[in-house]
Structure formats: C-alpha cells, structure tokens
Structure 1
Amino acid sequence: MFKRYRNTLIILAVILLAVLPLAFVKGEFGGADGEAEELIAVVDPTYKPWFSSLLSPPGETESMLFALQAALGAGFIGYVIGLFRGKATRKQP
C-alpha cells in the first residue's frame, strides 16, 4: 500500500518538516554574526575590529547568496542520488 503513495508521502513529509518549525519559533531569525557582535560588545565594550570587509553588500544580497549556495548544494546532492539510483537500476537484469 505504501509503495503506491510513496512519493506523495515523501513530499508531505518534506512540507511538514519545512512548515512545522515555523509554527513553534517566535521572533526574528537572526544570524550568528549579529549575536556574536552583541556578545563581544557585552564582554569587551572597548573592542575594535582588526579587519573590515573590502566589499560590503546589502543584506538582501547576503540572503540571496546564501539561498543560492543552498540551492546549488541541494542540486548537487539530488544529482548524485539520481546518478547512483540510475546506475543501480541499469545493473539489474
């Protein structure tokens, strides 16, 4: 019975894994960089950064690059899984 609806169940599980955490988390989604800056300001208020970035893109560019990196990684993993599954299917008589 589960073989017939396997793809539907997998898609439903992925959707639930993406949506359920959003229901339980309240507040803003901040990055680790912002939290680290706040903690450094608390621990040592006189701290001065010893390096500054040569290129400072706007915040939405950073988000876009992060999403692009995640998409490329997911695409690569999907390609490799499909490649191995295809090879395994071809070997069987």
Structure 2
Amino acid sequence: MSRNAKINTLLVVLVAALAVLPLVLGLGDHKKEPFTGADAQAETAITEIDPDYKPWFSPLYEPPSGEIESALFALQAAIGAGVLAYYFGLRRGRRQGELRAQAQQDADGAESGAGVSAAQGD
C-alpha cells in the first residue's frame, strides 16, 4: 500500500471515529431530545435563567419538521462549500496559468537570446 493510500485510510478511520464515538459513548446532553442544535440548547438555558423571557424577533420561515430543518441546513453548508471550492479552484487555476505563461516567456526569451548570440558570432 502506498504512503498516500495509508494516509487516506487513516483519515477515513479518524472521521468515522469522530462520527461514531459520541453516539456509542453517549457523549452530550441528548437524553431529552437527540441531536438538538445550539439554538434549541440556548433557548432551554435562557428559559431556565429567565422564564418570562420573550424573544425580540421570530424566524422568517419555520420548517414543518426537524428533518426538513436539518436538510436545509445541510443544503446551506453544501452550497457554501461549493462556493469556497470554486473560488479556491479558480485561484489555483489562474496561478498555474500565470506560472505557465511565465515559463513560456522565459523559454521564448532563452531561445531568442541564443539565436541573437549565434547571429552575432558569425
């Protein structure tokens, strides 16, 4: 197995462990409601501190279920990752194009310089 394959396998195992271990070990406070987000946990904490608290705004759109809310959040994350990947890919492609153009100019300059010195020697 090549070095890159070993590294990739190790990374996949680490990611799987990060995903599975909290579920297996029961880490986190998910006894009341599993997989609650930070918003729900913050709301619970605020209600415990001040039971009369009234939010000063309401959401623009309230999804009909938690699954739809999770799907929309995942879609938002995927779109953001796609935009970032496009941006960094575009930057890398432009940089490689500039390096190729510079190398081509250097090669053309070396060829023309060799031709000039050969012509001067005649």
Q: How does 1:19-38 map to 2 (within 5 A)?
A: 19-25=16-22, 26=26, 27=30, 28-38=34-44
1:47 aligns with 2:53: yes
> Alpha carbons of 1:82 and 1:53: their partners in 2 closer, same or farther (altered >3 Å)?
closer
Larger radius of gyration: 2
Q: Deviations over 1:49-79 (max 9, x none)?
A: 3444453212222112111111111111111
Q: Normalising by structure 1, what TM-score?
A: 0.68
Q: Which amino acid is 1:66 matched to? A: F
Q: Return the alpha-carbon distance in structure 2 between the equivalents of residues 23 and 47 of structure 1.
A: 37
User: 1:69 maps to which residue?
Assistant: 76
Q: Superposition RMSD on alpha carbons, in Å?
A: 2.6
Q: Which is worse superposed, 36-45 or 22-31?
A: 22-31
Q: Which amino acid is 2:81 matched to? A: A
Q: Deviations over 1:21-70 (max 9, x none)?
A: 22332354321111112112211123333444453212222112111111
Question: Higher helix share goes to which structure?
Answer: 2
1:15 aligns with 2:21: no
Structure 2 regions of 5+ residues with no counterpart? 104-122
**Across the two proteins, how many residue pairs are aligned to each other?**
89
Q: Return the alpha-carbon distance in structure 1 between the equivalents of residues 54 and 9 of structure 2.
A: 49
> Alpha carbons of 1:77 and 1:17: their partners in 2 closer, same or farther (altered >3 Å)?
farther
Higher RCO structure (Cα 8 Å, ≥6 apart): 1
Q: Normalising by structure 2, what TM-score?
A: 0.55
Q: Which amino acid is 1:87 matched to? A: R
Structure 1 regions of 5+ residues with no counterpart? none
> Alpha carbons of 1:15 and 1:45: their partners in 2 closer, same or farther (altered >3 Å)?
same
